[in-house]
Amino acid sequence: MKPEDRIKRRDKIRNFSIIAHIDHGKSTLADRILEKTSALTQREMQDQMLDAMDLERERGITIKLNAVQLTYTAADGEEYIFHLIDTPGHVDFAYEVSRSLAACEGALLIVDAAQGIEAQTLANVYLALDNELEIIPVINKIDLPSADPERVRGEVEDVIGLPGEDCIPASAKSGIGIDEILEAVVEKVPAPDGDPEAPLKAMIFDSIYDPYRGVIVYIRIVEGTVKPGEKIRMMQGQKEFEVQEIGVFTPKPVSKQELSVGDVGYMIASIKNVGDSQVGDTITHAARPTAEPLPGYRKLNPMVFCGLYPVDTNDYNDLRDALEKLELNDSALQFEAETSQALGFGFRCGFLGLLHMEIIQERIEREYNIDLITTAPSVIYEVTKTDGEQVLIDNPSEMPDAQQIDHIREPYVKAEVMVPNDYVGAVMELCQRKRGDYVDMKYLDENRVNIIYELPLSEIVYDFFDTLKSSTKGYASFDYELIGYKESNLVKMDILLNAEKIDALSIIVHRDSAYDRGKIIAEKLKKLIPRQQFEVPVQASIGQKIIARSTIKAMRKNVLAKCYGGDISRKRKLLEKQKEGKKRMKSVGSVEVPQEAFMSVLSMDED
């Protein structure tokens, strides 16, 4: 391509993403845009095209980023190149959002016409403003009976500070307002402004591992032009590779002769190790490198830790392979080998949040077919010993003896809950129960309230969000940010099965609630652990002191006393099913413990 053609092409490019709260209609809008830009024929069109992974479909959320190139013929008769970059909507994935926003010049902000702005959306809007993106507000679902677009318009103005009259009323489901949105993208989102002939500067905003092609990096060209066969260098990684293939997603991958300024696409360059293509790194030419790399990303540190152990110890190596492969696509995942007396060899893994943890766990079970034991998630505690030494503890079983501890500090978050004012009482009660400190409460309009609490992170990692949703009939939205460490009166509680301490069941609890928690856990384990051949006492202890106890009765009868006549296969199936069930349990000492028991220690409910 000639230099002037590259400039012409660049000026027709519009890069944008969609910011929306879960369920506010992002995927539906993305589908409509794909249809309108004829990226796919109707026949090829699968509903919710961008959410490719099964898990994403099931949970209705987007986890991995996707970047699609679309062609749009605008009202001015000109053809424009759109790159639609998908962003996850869940708070656990704020890091991925910031990555994808950095590859854009604009963002569509989707707000539900009935529900208004939610806490998580707000967090992403601030990220977009940080990245100096042009924001186009869209009020979606205006055809719902409960829609109140005028109120939402006011909210956009008051809460975000964008002019209310700029809001585009739309219904992605019914196809209302889609043309207006596309025209607004052309008019408002600035074209990229880099020099196509300058030394190459391409930003890696994601990478995935493909077993056949090696690492596939998702890039945004900021300056320069790249072609297959060229030698490139990772500026931070310092390694050099030869470009094998470049291309864009339409959403199918389509290889191209070159990618130039403004292009968002993929690069394959025989990269075997994802560590060599770190997200946030800048790619340049080996022969004509750029002087300055692009500013990197702030890397988020995992906040929630848990042990992952194979149910079948023979799966240990497979589990490590699975984690290594997942890590290739997920730079937020951390893991290192650890050993538990009860569970054997496994890994201590760090996650952005609980949802992130659940998704990784499910992917390992589903895609790699490994049955897992997940221990209760823990945060990182800062323990100061009596000798003045400070240690960080992310595994409760490693907590020093009580006599050696001077004090313990735990991470706190500032949590913002947006809720209709009918539910203020329910939210405050929940926050108090979770050891929260009240900070502030603001009315967003006459019936929506923003409640701010400081809460221990450990109290929100487990079931806070679920409880919040159920106690507000789903109306509350929630966001949080880490604010630092505070001293707390914490103790380690151990669980004993058959008088044997099970390290994988230890948890850190607040001293005031230890007795209640111990009682609930002992009862819960009694229900979850099936009867064994012998009676099994379940005990909760702090130090040497037993604070709660229950008993799992001995199995009395397990035999088929039924006349099946000559139907042997039926008997066989029954026995095979029983054997299969036991495979999903872990032998801990002399006790067969089901997977879910290890998570149950965090349960606060008595049922």
Partner 1 sequence: MKNPSSLYVHVPFCEQICHYCDFNKFFLKNQPVADYIEACGSEMRMSESVAPIETVYIGGGTPTALEDEQLERLLELIHKHFTIKPSAEFTVEVNPGSASKETFTMMKRYGVNRLSIGAQTFDTGLLKAINRDHGEGDVEASIQLARHAGITDISVDMMFGLPGQTMEQWQQSLIKLVSLPISHVSAYSLKIEPKTVFYQMWNRGALKLPNQDMEAEMYDWLYEYLHENDFQAYEISNFAKPGYESLHNQAYWNNDGYVGIGAGAHGYVNGVRHRNHGPLPKYLKAIEAGEMPWIESHQVPVNEQMEEEMFMGLRKRIGVNGHRFEKRYGLTVEDAFPGTVSKLQERGLLQKEENHYRLTRQGLLLGNEVFEAFLLP
Binding-site residues from annotation for GTP: 23-28, 140-143
d(CA 423, CA 401): 42
| Residue in 2, 43, 545, 579 binding partner 1, rule: CB under 8 A | 579
Choose one: 232-240, 306-314, 338-346, 578-586; the region binding partner 1 (CB under 8 A).
Answer: 578-586
For residue 486, state whether it binds partner 1 (rule: CB under 8 A): no
Say which residue the tokens 């110890």 belong to. Answer: 313
Residue closer to partner 1 (CB basis): 46 or 578 = 578
Stretch of 5-13, 99-107, 465-473, 559-567 contacting partner 1, by CB under 8 A: 559-567
Distance from the Cα of residue 339 to its chain's centroid: 26
560 binds partner 1 (CB under 8 A): yes
- How many residues bind partner 1 (CB under 8 A)? The answer is 25
Verify binding: residue 559, partner 1, rule CB under 8 A: yes
Span from 60-68, 339-347, 406-414, 562-570 in contact with partner 1 (CB under 8 A): 562-570
d(CA 349, CA 308): 7
The H helix count followed by the E strand count for the chain is: 15, 33
DSSP, collapsed to helix, strand or coil, labels residue 104 as coil
* Cα–Cα distance, 179 to 461 (Å, whole number): 42
Q: What's the closest the beta carbon of residue 366 comes to partner 1, in angstroms?
A: 23
575/189 Cα distance (integer angstroms): 64
- Minimum distance between the CB of residue 22 and partner 1, rounded to whole angstroms? 33
Burial class of residue 309 in the structure, from the number of CB atoms within 10 Å of its CB (0-12 exposed, 13-18 middle, 19+ buried): buried
Q: Kindly indicate which of the ranges 289-297, 468-476, 498-506, 569-577 contains the residues binding partner 1, using the contact rule CB under 8 A.
A: 569-577
The reply to whether omega before 228 is within 30° of 0 (cis) is: no
Nearest to partner 1 of 2, 562 (CB atom): 562
Among 146, 566, 605, 606, binds partner 1 (CB under 8 A): 566
Side-chain half-sphere exposure of 322, counting CA atoms within 13 A: 24
Segment near partner 1 (CB under 8 A); pick from 49-57, 315-323, 371-379, 568-576: 568-576
- Residue number with CB closer to partner 1 (43 or 562): 562
> Given the rule CB under 8 A, which of 133-141, 388-396, 448-456, 572-580 is the region that contacts partner 1?
572-580
Single out the residue of 4, 565, 605, 606 in contact with partner 1 (rule: CB under 8 A): 565
Nearest distance from C-beta of residue 536 to partner 1, angstroms: 15
CA–CA distance, 81 with 14 (Å, rounded to integer): 6
> Strand 585-588 relative to strand 536-542: parallel, antiparallel, unpaired?
unpaired
Which of residues 45 and 555 has its CB atom nearest to partner 1 in the complex?
Answer: 555
Provide the token pair at 525: 């384990």
Cβ(62)–Cβ(87) below 8 Å: yes
Nearer to partner 1, 402 or 555 (CB): 555
DSSP track, 308-319: EEESSGGGHHHH
- In the set 568, 605, 606, 607, which binds partner 1 (CB under 8 A)? 568
Report angle CA 85, 190, 124 to the nearest 5 degrees: 45
| 314 contacts partner 1 (rule: CB under 8 A) | no
Q: Which two tokens stand for residue 602?
A: 């965090």
**Residue 10, SS3 per DSSP:** helix
Q: Which residues contact 426 (CB under 8 A, 6 or more apart)?
A: 471, 472
Residues 6 or more apart whose Cβ sits within 8 Å of residue 84: 16, 17, 18, 30, 33, 34, 67, 68, 70
| Nearest residue (CB) to partner 1, 498 versus 603 | 498
Which span sits near partner 1 by CB under 8 A: 54-62, 239-247, 443-451, 577-585?
Answer: 577-585
Write down the least CB distance from residue 576 to partner 1, Å. 6
The C-alpha angle with vertex 59 and arms to 301 and 470, in degrees rounded to 5, equals 90
Q: How far apart are CA 333 and CA 325, in angstroms?
A: 11
Which is closer to partner 1, CB of 257 or CB of 569?
A: 569
Q: Which is nearer to partner 1, 545 or 556 (CB)?
A: 556
Cβ proximity to partner 1, 450 vs 587, nearer residue? 587
Query: Is there binding between residue 337 and partner 1 (CB under 8 A)?
Result: no
CB of 530 to partner 1, least distance (A): 11
Q: Mention every residue, 6+ apart, whose C-beta is less than 8 A from residue 378.
A: 304, 305, 306, 394, 395, 396, 458, 507, 508
Q: For residue 562, state whether it binds partner 1 (rule: CB under 8 A).
A: yes
Question: Distance between CA atoms of 368 and 228, rounded to whole angstroms?
Answer: 34
Give me the least distance between CB of 571 and partner 1, in Å please: 7
Please report how close the Cβ of residue 85 comes to partner 1 at its closest, in angstroms.
Answer: 48
| Cβ atoms 449, 440 nearer than 8 A | no
Q: Is 273 in the site for partner 1 (CB under 8 A)?
A: no
Q: Which residues pair with 320 in a beta bridge?
A: none
Task: Give least dist CB 533 to partner 1, A.
Answer: 6
- The stretch near partner 1 (CB under 8 A) out of 198-206, 220-228, 300-308, 575-583 is 575-583
Query: Is 561 an interacting residue with respect to partner 1 (CB under 8 A)?
Result: yes
Judged by beta carbon, residue 499 or residue 568, the one nearer partner 1 is: 568
Q: Nearest 5°: CA angle at 331, between 328 and 334?
A: 95
Choose between 197 and 567: whose C-beta lies nearer to partner 1.
Answer: 567
> Of the listed pieces 240-248, 288-296, 419-427, 576-584, which binds partner 1 according to CB under 8 A?
576-584
One symbol per residue from 519 to 558: x for binding partner 1 (CB under 8 A), - otherwise; what is it? ------------x-x-------------------x-xxxx
Q: Closest Cα partner for 122 from 607, 452, 563, 518? A: 452
Sequence-distant (6+) residues with CB within 8 A of 159 are 117, 122, 444
| Complex with partner 1: residue 291 or 561, whichever CB lies closer | 561
- For binding to partner 1 (CB under 8 A), which residues are involved? 531, 533, 553, 555-563, 565-569, 571-572, 574-576, 578-579, 582
